[in-house]
Amino acid sequence: MAKPGITGMKHPVAIALIQMRCDPRPQQNLQVAETRVTAAARRGARIVCLPELFRTQYFCQSEEFSAFDLAEPIPGPTTRALARFARRLRIVIIGSIFERRAAGLYHNTVVVLDADGKLVGRYRKMHIPDDPLYYEKFYFTPGDLGFQSFSTRFANVGTMVCWDQWYPEAARLTALRGAEILFIPTAIGWPRSERGWHRSRKNKYDEKQYDAWLTIQRAHAIANGVFVAAVNRVGTENAIEFWGGSFVCDPFGKIIAQAGHDREDVLLAQCDLRQIDDTRRNWPFLRDRRIDAYGAITERWHDV
Amino acid sequence: MAKPGITGMKHPVAIALIQMRCDPRPQQNLQVAETRVTAAARRGARIVCLPELFRTQYFCQSEEFSAFDLAEPIPGPTTRALARFARRLRIVIIGSIFERRAAGLYHNTVVVLDADGKLVGRYRKMHIPDDPLYYEKFYFTPGDLGFQSFSTRFANVGTMVCWDQWYPEAARLTALRGAEILFIPTAIGWPRSERGWHRSRKNKYDEKQYDAWLTIQRAHAIANGVFVAAVNRVGTENAIEFWGGSFVCDPFGKIIAQAGHDREDVLLAQCDLRQIDDTRRNWPFLRDRRIDAYGAITERWHDV
C-alpha cells in the first residue's frame, strides 16, 4: 500500500460490466439491464457499464430503413430510465444508445450518468465500421464530439465504442483528457457461416480474433497507464455469435476480471486508481512523448 | 493462397533476428554478429536485424563521460563492416550504432544496409528513456529524423528502437510511411536487485513485464496491419538481466517465432507480405481513421 501523498488517497473503486444477451424486445432488455445493474450495485459496484446498443438486437447485420425506428433522442426514454437507476442506486451508469439527433441524422452514442442521475455527457462513436454483417456506415453518422473524459463521482471515465477499440489514437486522446478508466461498450462476434479465415476447424472459437481484440485493448491500458473495461454482448443473433469475453485490465495490461464466451455475466472488478500514478512513474511513457514529431498522424498515408 | 492480383505477387521473405549476449569487447561482438548473420543468411534469411547497441555492453546503467568514447560516426567502422557483410551475403542488414554526430552530440541510431551494401538510410531513436539503470537521456540526443520506412530489395523496412516500442504513435507513423515489417532492436531486462514490484517471488521471471512488452508490440502489428520483429540481447550485465524473448508476429499480432529468455538465438521467420493486404482488407482500420479528430495528439495533456 502506498503512503498517502500530499494530494491525499483515492480508494479502490468497484466497477461492473453487464455482459448480456439481447432480446428482440427492447423493453425486455431494459428490464434485464435494470435487474443486472441493481445486482451489481448490491455487490458493491460504483460504476456500471452496459454493452453497445443493449436495448436491441444488433440490427446492423443488414441495411433496413425501418431499423431507424429503434433510435431515440438523448435525453429520451433510455437515458431517463438509466438516470433513474443511477439515482436510486447511487452509482454511475454508462449506457449505449442508438441516438436520433435529427431527421436523417443518427449516432451510436454513449451516455454517462452520474450517481445523482445527472447526465454528465455523451460520446458519439467516432470510428464507424462497414464490413459484411456490420453495416454501420449505413446507420451511424460519425461522431462530432471528439474524444472525451467525464468527471463522475467515483472516477474520471473515458468512453470509446466498439470499432474505436482498434484505434490507439482514440485511447491516447481519451487518456490525455484525464480518463482513469476507459469503458468500451462493444458488439463483436464470430460470423456463424465462416470457417476458414475467421474460425479454425479444430476449435469452437477462433481465439485468434478474440486474442487480437484483447491484445489491442490491453495495449491501450499499457500505453496510457489507465484501466480498460470492455463489455460485449453474448449469444447468437442471426449470423453472428457474439463472443462475450468482457474483461477489465489494470494500467499495465494485466487482466483482473474476464467473462466467458458463452454466458451472461455481471463482471466485477476492483480498480485501485492509485495504480495509475504508480504505473506511470515506473513506466513514464507520457513523459517522453515526442509531441513535436506526431503531426503526420492527421494524415491518411504518406504517398511516396 | 491468394491469386495474383493485377499488381503481381510478393513472395514470402525470410527474416532473422540475432538474439545475442554482448561482450565487454566491441571487436568480439562484431565477430559474433558476423558469424550469426552469416548463419542466418545460409539458412535463407534475406533481412537480418541485430539488437540495440550490439557492439557494446549496455553502458547506460550509469553515467560515465568515458562511455562516449564507444561512439562512432556513420558511416564509420560498424556501418562499413555491416555493409561488407550485407554485400557479401546479398542480404539486408539492420544494425544499431552509438552514433557520434558532432562533438557533444550523440544519438542511438539504426542503419539500414541494402543487399548491395549501400546505406539506405538511418533512423535516430526518437523516444529516450531515463530510469534507474537506463540513463539514456545522459547519452542520447533525441532523434531529429522523424519516423521512417526504408525501401530495400526485399521489403519496406520500418525501424524503431527500444523505448519507441511503447509508443503507438511511432508504430502508426512508421506504418503510414509504407513499412511492411517494423524492426525493433532493443535492450531490455529485469533488474537483478529488485524483487517486489518488478519480479515475483514465485517465478524466476516476472512475466508481467515481458508480457506487457510483448502485448504492446503485438498491438502495433494489429493496429497497423504490419509484421513486427523485436530483437533483444540476452544475458546478465552488471545489474540487468536482459530478458531475450525476441519475437516476430504477423499483421494480426500472432506470434510466428519467439526466442527464449536464457540463451542466444538466430530466430528465423517467414513473412508473407501478402498477409498485409489480406489482413487490412478484413480489418480495415486504416480506412476509418478520423484524421480530422487526431490533432490533439501533438499536445502533452489536456489541462482541465
How many C-alpha atoms does B235 have within 13 Å on its Cβ side? 15
A15-24, A194-203, B23-32, B113-122: which has the minimum mean pLDDT?
A194-203
Asked if the C-beta of A3 comes within 8 angstroms of chain B's C-beta atoms, the answer is no
Determine whether A162 is an active site residue.
yes
Average pLDDT, chain B: 94
pTM, to two decimals: 0.95
* Domain residue limits, chain B: 12-285
Query: Would you tell me which CATH number, out of the four given (3.60.110.10, 3.40.50.2300, 3.40.50.300, 3.40.50.720), belongs to the domain A12-285?
Result: 3.60.110.10
Which residue of B lies nearest to A219 if distances are taken between CA atoms? Answer: B216
Cβ proximity of B160 and B172 under 8 Å: no
pLDDT at A193: 67
Catalytic residue among A22, A49, A52, A180: A52
Q: Which residue in the set A149, A171, A291 is minimally distant from B299, CB to CB?
A: A291
pLDDT digits (tens, 9 = 90+) for A65-120: 999 999 999 999 999 999 999 999 999 999 999 999 999 999 999 999 999 999 99
Is the pLDDT at B3 greater than 70? The verdict is no
Q: B127-150 in b/e burial notation, b at 16+ Cβ within 10 A? A: bbbbeebbbbeebbbbbeebbbbb
pLDDT digits (tens, 9 = 90+) for B221-240: 999 999 999 999 999 999 99
Q: Strand, coil or helix: what is A45?
A: coil
Stretch B253-274: mean pLDDT, rounded? 97
pLDDT at A304: 83
% of residues, chain A, pLDDT over 90: 91
pLDDT at A7: 55
Is the pLDDT at A237 greater than 50? The verdict is yes
Across the A:B interface, residue pairs with CB atoms under 8 Å apart total: 163
pLDDT digits (tens, 9 = 90+) for A27-66: 999 999 999 999 999 999 999 999 999 999 999 999 999 9
Predicted confidence band at B9 (pLDDT cuts at 50, 70, 90)? low
ipTM of the prediction greater than 0.90, yes or no: yes
pLDDT at B8: 53
Asked if the C-beta of A132 comes within 8 angstroms of chain B's C-beta atoms, the answer is no
pLDDT at B204: 53
pLDDT at B207: 86
* Strand order across the beta sheet in which A181-186 lies: A149-151, A156-159, A181-186, A227-232, A247-249, A255-258
Strand segments, DSSP code E, in A202-297 are 227-232, 234-237, 240-243, 247-249, 255-258, 265-271
A179 class by beta-carbon count within 10 Å (0-12 exposed, 13-18 middle, 19+ buried) = buried
Question: Which amino acid belongs to residue B27?
Answer: Q
Predicted confidence band at A198 (pLDDT cuts at 50, 70, 90)? very low
Is the pLDDT at A124 greater than 80? The verdict is yes
Predicted confidence band at B133 (pLDDT cuts at 50, 70, 90)? very high
Residues of A in contact with B253 (CB under 8 A): 211-212, 215-216
Q: Strand, coil or helix: what is A34?
A: helix
pLDDT digits (tens, 9 = 90+) for A269-304: 999 999 999 999 999 999 999 999 999 999 999 998
Cβ proximity of A290 and B142 under 8 Å: yes
Are the Cβ atoms of B297 and A172 closer than 8 angstroms? yes
Is the pLDDT at B178 greater than 60? The verdict is yes
Is the pLDDT at A163 greater than 50? The verdict is yes
Residues of B in contact with A1 (CB under 8 A): none
Determine whether B52 is an active site residue.
yes
Determine whether B125 is an active site residue.
yes
Are the Cβ atoms of B302 and A253 closer than 8 angstroms? no
Which residue of B lies nearest to A304 if distances are taken between CA atoms? Answer: B177
Alpha carbon distance B241, B77 (integer Å): 28
pLDDT digits (tens, 9 = 90+) for B80-99: 999 999 999 999 999 999 99
In the block, residue with C-alpha cell 520483429 = B229
Alpha carbon distance A165, A182 (integer Å): 10
Helix intervals (H) in chain A: 26-42, 77-89, 136-139, 168-176, 207-224, 274-282
Is the pLDDT at B294 greater than 80? The verdict is yes
Stretch B132-154: mean pLDDT, rounded? 98
